Amino acid sequence: MTSATEGGKPASIVRQLHLPAANLNLENKHISKSLLTIPSAGNKMNTISQTAYSEFLQQVQARQVAQVTIKVDRIEYTLKSEFGGARHYTISDQFQPNLPNLLRNQSIPFTDERTSASGVLGLLLSMGAMAGALVWLAKFSQAGGGIGGLTGIGKSKARVYNQGKTGIQFADVAGVDEAKQELQEVVDFLKNGEKYRKIGAKIPKGVLLVGPPGTGKTLLAKAIAGEAGVPFFSMSGSEFVELYVGVGASRVRDLFQQAKRQAPCIIFIDELDAIGKSRGNSNFNGNDEREQTLNQLLTEMDGFDGNAGVILIAATNRPEILDPALRRPGRFDRQVLVDRPDKSGREAILKVHSRGVKMGEDVDLNASATQTVGFSGADLANLVNEAALMAARQNRQAVLMADFHEAIERVIAGLEKRSRVLSPLERQTVAYHEVGHAFVGALMPGGSKVTKISIVPRGIGALGYTLQTPEEDRFLLIEDELRGQIATLLGGRAAEEIVFGKVSSGASDDIQKATALAERAVTQYGMGETLGPIAFETQQAQFLDGGSTRRSISAEVASEIDRLIKQSIDRSYATALAILRHNRSLLESTTQTLLETEVLEGEQLQRILAQVQMPETV
């Protein structure tokens, strides 16, 4: 092949075009750098040359163009015969959007192939998207049934811990020894089921853990799975219910199907009350989604004869609202109470949570357990963590007892806020108020010991506080102790009235608590002198502070209840006034000491409180 060029093009290209070099019009100014071949009628080959887009526009404006074809990637056009009749094409990164209008204005016929091409492309893309959607729907329709199966939302969302790898053992659960003993049978059945079957015994089909929030119900369930070494399916009650009808029931079916395949195993449903509420209380006619989910759960639990080795454990703090069909024997045969721990239980819980914490030599967990009456397991875990954080904040190498004291106050009263600056009068009022609480509380029965007085603001609205620590766990409240608590609550307001001759708004929370206590004494505890042992209110929640509902009563009874409540408040307030007036000089000196030190505690406080005397008239 020769390398010579003819007419500015390689000779090889000329031979491929089957055109003699002499036939090329090299002097035509419309011929650009490159050449193309296009087939024509009669198998003749016509030459089409490239021009600049600007030159094309000039030819259009000069009316030299006979016909135009607008394609996706270029524009092809033919000149009029009087201008040579040659064919050209032009390429530009950006064609003018008003080119069709320009051609119409110049009366130049044109064909726009872009519209048809984009229409075909769009149709192909739409068909591809529809095909993909059909494949996706078919895939999920095979995995589940109904609407839930079509979209994949009918599948169970349970978290699965294989072979009991929950990371929790019974040794990690403290303060609920009776509950652990009850659940040992479940673990033993999963490990040694043949022993029970030989003797004819049947393991409970379901175990319902009930108790206040934070007492360790979920932790116990994980410990059962960890001890038994079986798969553990964990799911919250709220995860069953969705917007779409039938999804909850579909998830219940899928959950139990998965469990059957991996039996023996444990299914744990937390917050069972989310789907287990009593039926018939719906605001809508017919069954709603929650009722359908509950019905499916009842059906699955009744089918446990065919689910050998599948144990259902559920937890709730609202057992009173569960459907009776759910609680009956044959479904949840056993209810296990997981209550707040006693003193020994609290000490055991503190020891568990302090395993990985470096403790100082002065730390006394028994003393901390004494000061934390009413704390749940979660509260105690938070207490240990708060103490560790405070020690780290002070750059200590270990947690000291002082950190535990501060953590207890932070959990009870809130974060200390020394930046909240009070005026001298406000500060003085708060000091008298808190000393009044302490003096009355020191003399009232009930077993609570005043351990600290502070006028350092804490929490959201506490400008000061008086800390009383029960010396022992109490499960009953005697009548005189209840009246003593009301008097203690009103001691702060009584001190303000004695010293200033007027009261402030600082006692609002005390008054609300005292009134509520006096009302419960009359309407729930039957301590009203004239009404006697009649319950006029019923508790709405057993383990939660859900308030109470007063049954239908006459106007005369309602008036008598109000009179007895006011009578109880007046008597307790009179007692507080008498105690503080009798100890007025000690009240003044103690308040001045508190204003100087901001905090009174320990031996200094106990020496002062030992001087408080009860007046003879009380």
- Active site amino acids: 434
Which residue in 276, 271, 229, 360 sits closest to 544, CA to CA? 271
In whole angstroms, give the CA distance from residue 131 to residue 157: 28
Those residues whose C-beta lies under 8 Å from the C-beta of residue 453, and which sit 6 or more positions away, are 434, 435, 437, 438, 464, 465, 466, 467, 594, 599, 600, 601, 605
C-beta of residue 248 within 8 angstroms of C-beta of residue 290: yes
C-beta of residue 336 within 8 angstroms of C-beta of residue 208: yes
The runs of H, that is alpha helices, within 277-364 are: 289-302, 324-327, 343-353
3-state helix, strand, coil in the chain (%, to 5): 50, 15, 35
Those residues whose C-beta lies under 8 Å from the C-beta of residue 82, and which sit 6 or more positions away, are none
Q: Are strands 537-539 and 35-39 parallel, antiparallel or unpaired?
A: unpaired
| E-only strand ranges, 123-217 | 159-161, 206-210
Tokens of 432: 């008298």
Cis ω on the peptide bond leading into residue 264 (within 30° of 0)? Answer: yes
Which residue in 610, 604, 602, 172 sits closest to 401, CA to CA? 602
Across the strands, what pairs with 110? 68
In whole angstroms, give the CA distance from residue 312 to residue 156: 15
In whole angstroms, give the CA distance from residue 237 to residue 313: 12
Tokens of 568: 């109880």
